[in-house]
Structure 1
Amino acid sequence: MQYVTEYRDREKAAALSEEIARQTRTDRSYRFMEFCGGHTHVLSRWGLTDLLPPNVKMIHGPGCPVCVLPVGRIEMAINLALTEKVILCTYADTLRVPTSKGLSLFNCRALGGDVRMVYSPMDALNLAKNNPDRQVVFFAIGFETTTPPTAVAVKTAKNLGLKNFSVFVNHVLTPAAMEHILKSASKNSPAGLLDGLVGPAHVSTIIGSNAYEGFAKNWEKPVVIAGFEPIDMLLAILMLIKQTNEKRHCVENEFTRAVSPEGNLIAKKLMKDVFTLRKSFEWRGLGQVPFSALKLADEFQDFDAEKRFNMPELHSPDNKACACGAILRGEKEPRDCKLFGTVCTPAHPMGACMVSSEGACAAYWRYAPKGSGVQKTTK
């Protein structure tokens, strides 16, 4: 584990913090958005924001795959379990997201829904093989990181000729969301005042650093791809500060040990073979985002759960008291939500940002310092 501990070295962190302070100009502010929820957890877990000068602000973006899934899509999955009586399989974080009706995939099991947690799409496919008399649906969510495994499962199901396996596809695309945030920004919104972007780590291993060139060129915003260790994050922030000071806007890759310019060519081909773009898709907090999500290509339509079960599209409002949407847009922080840490806790979440292991609210709750005002009650 020496390779990891080198990226958690206290002296290196202190040196980077001092260099950030030296490079930061006192006559201006710096606002950088970390798109990935994993980076939000890195900042909170290691207390990195406390090492930054007061005029360097990190803005949390919509990089939590469970958080950005709108309520209506979860209600569609619940309907599959309760009405169509399928075996519904999905990842753990998705199970506890509350809907407008007060239901979740987890508690709909008490109403007779057969909902199961899986670790991969192949687990769902194996359930279909072992239960030929039941329809099995995989509730697929996530960014480009989790999309290739879904593609493998669909191709395998086609090769096996499985008739009782299908996928409810909710895979979304990182660059489209980043583009939407920048396009919809006005001079008075936090997103409009961004000085740079921290590129996600896991997603970038798939799509590569070249995928962000448009943001640097067209929006004149520096992008630095960062790993998930504290040294990674501090170094990425320093690189963004230097680009901002020098009025440069290019893509830099701090996470060279895992991310290449072209990305994972095999994974990208899998996605291209199995999926095609949706014209539009609803995101929690962002609304309808053009060409931001995937659906199965014509060749694999037999495995599309939306077509197999004639699923109606549902659109439901978020809890009005929950600030999850504003947090995903970078307009608020978790502590700005009046529910945070009181009514809304990990034991009784009111919104997806508290449920997901990558959610900003979950990060603030888990790593809140003493005296921060967060009441860690689970009653």
Structure 2
Amino acid sequence: MKYVDEFRDPTLARCYADAIARIATRPWSIMEICGGQTHSIVRHGIDQMLPRGVTLLHGPGCPVCVTPSGIIDAAIAIASRPEVTFCSFGDMLRVPGETGSLLAARGRGADIRMVYSPLDALAIARDRPDREVVFFAIGFETTAPATAMAVLQAERERVANFSLLVSHVLVPPAIEALLSDPGNGVQGFLAAGHVCAVMGYWEYEPIARRFGIPIVVTGFEPVDLLQGLYLCIRQLEAGRAEVENQYLRTVQRDGNRHAQAVLGRVFSVRPQQWRGIGEIANSGLGLAPDYARFDALRRFPDIVAPPERCNECISGEVLRGVKKPGDCPAFGTRCTPEHPLGATMVSSEGACAAYYRYRRPSHSDAAGEPARPRIL
């Protein structure tokens, strides 16, 4: 298949792995901020193909994983109201908050429905004017435009019983927050290609200049990732700090200006809590004043998102790249996809779920066992 098979070519993947080994003269730590890239790296053994000393860190690139537990608890409280039909993407249903999960609430009788698009939720609201229909709007810049379009459609159609519980987050402020941490060990970033397809990569250029760090926009297939790593390490070895675009077949510098305009119209930037990380300034999207009537928290003012509590889950350290899933003593025993302690295990894009699915028998990262590449 054009644009897929050639980026899974084992021979080409080996060529890039060998090229990285030739140019890497010292240890480097590079972080990807995309759950899809994390799963591809772990599934195909990309990190195990790299020379010793080149380390891949898994950042806060899973939108489900970074959704704060307080918002999930607010979702459960809203969904449990008898007049509410609550709509959510499927991967949010099992994510634990402090008071349980949406799936458990549905088991208690709440009208909670899995949808594939905010427009599905809008259709339910249109068909059931007797119900308050709430859509759980989560995700990075990739899913936010669809949420914004649903709001505009609801406005045009004057659908009064449709609202949103919003927890959209933005990638560039998260990168800045990680780089501003005194304990930060990241020396280069692989930027998520699908986010940049919407937003472009012009936002990353001042970050690269300010922190003196290379950022490479990268795709999701094995050759994409290895080529992105090669470009990043080549910059590091040359002492450069620029934004490069590996994902040329999809991403342009300016991104999708129409989508950006829709986001700017419907949303305003605000501080946002990130699960396991804390509040990051200017990292979230909330409904702009002209569309505040679609805010579910305003529609149900008695709902308060409780603060996040600590437990034995180390997902915050995993999301910051401080630890790997295998470093957690609960990994694969007390914490599994069936009984998760944290979102990084339950989410289909979470790093812990990736390690559990593809590496649990060997625990190679935790035990230091020999690398076992999977695709080659």
TM-score scaled by structure 1? 0.94
Is 1:149 aligned with 2:140?
no
Matched, 1:338 2:329: yes
Letter in 1 for 2:159: L
- Identify the residue that residue 348 of structure 1 maps to in structure 2: 339
| Root-mean-square deviation over aligned CA pairs | 1.4
Q: Report deviation, 1:325.
A: 1.0
Q: Provide the residue aligned with 1:115 in structure 2.
A: 112
What aligned pairs does 1:219-368 form with structure 2 within 5 A after superposition? 219-278=211-270, 280-368=271-359
Amino acid at match of 1:7: F
**8 Å Cα contact 1:208/1:264 also seen in 2:** yes
Shift of 1:373: 6.9
Q: Is the CA contact (8 Å cut-off) linking 1:167 and 1:304 kept in structure 2?
A: yes
In structure 2, distance between residues paired with 1:220 and 1:329 = 19
The change in CA–CA distance for 1:23 and 1:369 in structure 2 (over 3 A counts) is: farther
Q: What does the per-residue CA deviation read over 1:264-285, in whole Å, with 9 as the maximum and x for residues that have no partner?
A: 111101101111112x221112
Contact 2:216/2:228 (8 A) holds in 1: yes
Q: TM-score, normalised by structure 2?
A: 0.94
> Which shifted more, 361-370 or 233-242?
361-370
Matched, 1:170 2:167: yes
Q: Are the structure 2 counterparts of residues 151 and 88 from structure 1 closer, same or farther at C-alpha, using a change threshold of 3 Å? A: same
1:371 Cα deviation (Å)?
2.9
2:177 aligned partner: 180
Instruction: Check the 8 A contact 2:314/2:328 in 1, yes or no.
Output: yes
Corresponding residue number in structure 2 for 1:96: 94
2:30 counterpart SS class: strand
**Does the Cα contact within 8 Å between 2:77 and 2:303 map onto a contact in 1?**
no
Q: Which consecutive unaligned segments of at least 5 residues does structure 2 have?
A: 366-376
**5+ unaligned residues in a row in structure 1: which ranges?**
375-379
Q: 146-155 or 347-356, which moves further after superposition?
A: 347-356
Secondary structure of 1:115's match?
A: strand
The CA deviation at 1:176 is 1.0
- Structure 1 distance, partners of 2:193, 2:348, is 16
- One-letter amino acid matched to 1:270: V
Q: Distance in 2 between matches of 1:196 and 1:140?
A: 30
Aligned to 2:371: none
Task: State the distance in 1 between where 2:74 and 2:3 align.
Answer: 44
In structure 1, what residue type is equivalent to 2:27?
S
TM superposition shift of 1:229 = 0.4
Q: How far apart are 1:233 and its partner, in Å?
A: 0.3
Q: Deviations over 1:136-195 (max 9, x none)?
A: 000100000000000010000000011110111111111111111111x21xx2xx2221
> Paired residues, what number?
365
Is the partner of 1:67 in helix, strand or coil? helix
1:5 aligns with 5
Give the conservation status (yes or no) of the 8 Å contact 1:326–1:332.
yes
Identical pairs, percent:
45
How far 1:246 sits from its partner (Å)?
0.4
The residue number in structure 2 matching 1:24 is 24
Question: What secondary structure does 2:59 align onto?
Answer: strand
- 2: distance between equivalents of 1:111 and 1:295? 30
- Show the counterpart of 1:377: none
C-alpha contact 1:33 1:58 (8 A) present in aligned 2: yes
Amino acid at match of 2:20: I
Residues 166 and 304 of structure 1 are in contact (CA less than 8 Å); yes or no, is this contact kept in structure 2?
Answer: yes
